[in-house]
Homo-oligomer: A and B are copies of this chain.
């Protein structure tokens, strides 16, 4: 077989942009950077970078995220490829949006400061460059959808968490208040949490039991086709 090459076709620049979500026990946050180069220098932006020849997109997105936060092995998912012809005034560039869920306590605070990055509550995030606002909107919609069908939220929580934190997180993602008793009994029916003997004393006098996610039970249930619909 002869390998011909597609010599007469147009080539384009391909960027990846990451919508990085965090959660601080109260609200969802977004990690943004102040752009250090033209065009749109000084404005807020998602973190991004260009795909290199020897990478696939997942690798490129992980590299970009690692570069900003120092974190490895982060939950990321490809969202959508944005291609409006004039989306970047500097050059014909397409961008593949990825979203990432990280435990807000874990990233390298020095590193993000060096990169002039900053956490913003989702509702108070500034206007972003190019089509980044649309990317965030899409990411939010996907996150909501995922949260309703699998227990994705654990990526955003510390290893040990209280039921209240878990509920607050779901409330933040879904954008509505949930009933405490219904939420807990729903979640208990999944049977994927381990109740610890420890209590978290930071938010009440009585203290609240800590739980952790039982990855093993979870994987088994996924294999069995269990439905985690909230």
Contacts and interface: CB of A to CB of B under 8 A. Distances in A.
25 contacts: A1-B40, A2-B38, A2-B39, A3-B39, A3-B89, A3-B90, A4-B37, A4-B38, A4-B39, A5-B90, A5-B91, A6-B13, A9-B13, A9-B50, A10-B13, A10-B53, A11-B11, A11-B12, A12-B12, A12-B14, A12-B51, A12-B53, A14-B94, A57-B81, A78-B81
Contacts of A54: 85
Interface string A77-107: 0101101110001111110100000000000
B56 A10 contact: no
Given A55-B85, A57-B83, A58-B83, 5 more contacts: A1-B41, A3-B90, A6-B90, A11-B11, A81-B96
Contact of A6 (B9, B10, B50, B57): B50
Instruction: Report the copy number of this chain in the oligomer.
Output: 2
Interface string A4-32: 11100111111000000000000000000
A217 interface: no
Nearest to A4: B38
Nearest to A2: B38
A203 to B, nearest CB: 35
Given A1-B39, A2-B38, A57-B83, A10 B52 contact: yes
A2 B89 CA distance: 10
Contacts of A80: 78
Given A51-B12, A57-B83, A85-B54, A6 B91 contact: yes
